[in-house]
Amino acid sequence: MTQSFYDRVAGELSEIDAQGLTKPERIIASRQGPVIQVAGRDVLNFCANNYLGLAGDERVTQAGMAAQAEWGAGTASVRFICGTLEIHKELEAAIAAYLGFEDAILFAAAFDANGGLFEPLLGENDAIVSDSLNHASIIDGVRLCKAKRYRFANSDMDELESRLKEARAAGARDIIIATDGAFSMDGYIAKLDEIRALADKYDALIMVDDCHATGFLGPQGKGSFAHQGVEVDFVTGTFGKALGGAMGGFICAKKSVVELLKQRARPYLFSNALAPAVCGSSLEAIRIAQGAEGDALRTRLSANAHRYRGAMSDAGFILLDGEHPIIPVMLGDAKLAQDFAARALELGVYVIGFSFPVVPRGQARIRTQMSAAHTFDQIDRTVEVFTQAGRELGVI
């Protein structure tokens, strides 16, 4: 009986591989940055969420090292048992002030932030109306909650209004509209101005996952809601992308909400506190992001995305429309996406093919991502590599 289990696992792995859906993990032997070392050679890196280029920044690195030197490796338990370090409170205050909220709560991962938000706040008399393209962590967080669930097609405001009407007609006590601020697989930015109008009309709250927006979208990089010029009730986010590139998540909200989450959110209560090194690096990244240097980095990031989009379109590739630095190159077939990524790496560009179940079947792609640390020369070279690989594989 035991062997049959392992035979089944092996069979599923073989089937995944036969369908071209295996996701290889390549070993990086250097810091994160626009150029990384893979398999003993330097290659251009165009798949990291390193939006502001701070993941390998020496100031961010040194700030993390200094925090670990002062506070040690960690608390060795959860905060309500072994205590909260001063640097945890400093980071909570810093991210809340940066994004314009009363308070914040930290989590070991952004996945945990979304997993811990809904259950403590909503019950069976409440409702969640969720965008169909929301991140897996939002989907899982909603599943943990007893609230009634509604779903609307990605950024379809007519369907969102219909779901809100249904929730109100069913007698929902409180309603939360849940959406990504920027959808990670497509680079689409949520229509938060229209969502805000509907939320006001139907007396609903708004939750935004801004993992792919905090630090670089909107004034001072405050996120998608600032980019749209609206207020929202809850923002979840990460320190693992633009704000340092390490790990860890947060929820920003009113102080009373944060206090309740600290009493009831299971991922907070039963996971170790965020490591001091992560806190130190994140604090330095926030300092850079919210200042004049952050403005310069955001300007460079936008210019890089504009240059890449234009050159790739001119070369004949199919791109998804948008203004976000996530720029998917659509290929359709899963095996083709894997072959394309492998050939690009051979030619000196590190990218990843995305296929089912990460994206819908038939919508495989290379999700390229711009960074403020990229140069125009690096972008132009990447377009050359894509063009060569595209011609060899019959894409263009």
Q: What single string gives the DSSP state of each residue in 67-78?
A: HHHHH-S--SS-
**Residue 57 dihedral angles phi and psi, to the nearest 5°:** -60, 135
2 is in an annotated binding site: no
The answer to whether 238 is a known ligand-binding residue is yes
Residues 6+ apart with CB under 8 A from 229: 193
88 labelled ligand-binding? no
CA distances in angstroms from 307 to 149, 317, 341, 367, 370, listed in the order given: 41, 14, 21, 16, 10
Q: State the amino acid at position 383 in one-letter form.
A: V
Annotation-wise, does 45 bind a ligand? no
Instruction: Tell me: is residue 239 an annotated ligand-binding position.
Output: yes
Would you mind telling me the total number of residues written for the chain in this entry? 396
Find all residues with CB under 8 Å of 276, minimum gap 6, and list them: 67, 68, 70, 71, 72, 73, 74, 85, 87
Residue 184 among known ligand-binding residues: yes
Catalytic positions, written as ranges = 184, 212, 241
CA distance 35 to 43: 6
Long-range pairs for 152-160: beta carbons < 8 A, 24 or more residues apart: 154/183, 154/188, 155/131, 155/188, 155/190, 155/191, 157/191, 157/194, 157/195, 157/198, 160/129, 160/195, 160/198
Nearest to 53 by CA among 374, 377, 383, 376: 374
Phi, psi of 158 (to 5 degrees): -65, -45
Tell me the sheet residues that pair with 285.
Answer: none
Q: Annotation-wise, does 77 bind a ligand?
A: no
Tokens of 15: 């089937």
In eight-state DSSP terms, residue 28 is B
- At 245, the amino acid letter reads G
- Which DSSP string do the residues of 164-211 spell out, in sequence order? HHHHHHTT-S-EEEEEESB-TTT-PBP-HHHHHHHHHHTT-EEEEE-T
Q: Which two tokens stand for residue 81?
A: 């048992």
The span from the CA of 3 to the CA of 170, in Å, is 50
354 with 185: CB under 8 angstroms?
A: yes
Q: How many beta carbons lie within 10 A of that of residue 16, not counting itself?
A: 13
Which residue positions form the known binding site for pyridoxal 5'-phosphate?
184, 238-241, 271-272
**Binding site, annotated residues:** 135, 184, 238-241, 271-272, 367
Numbered residues of the known binding site for substrate: 135, 367
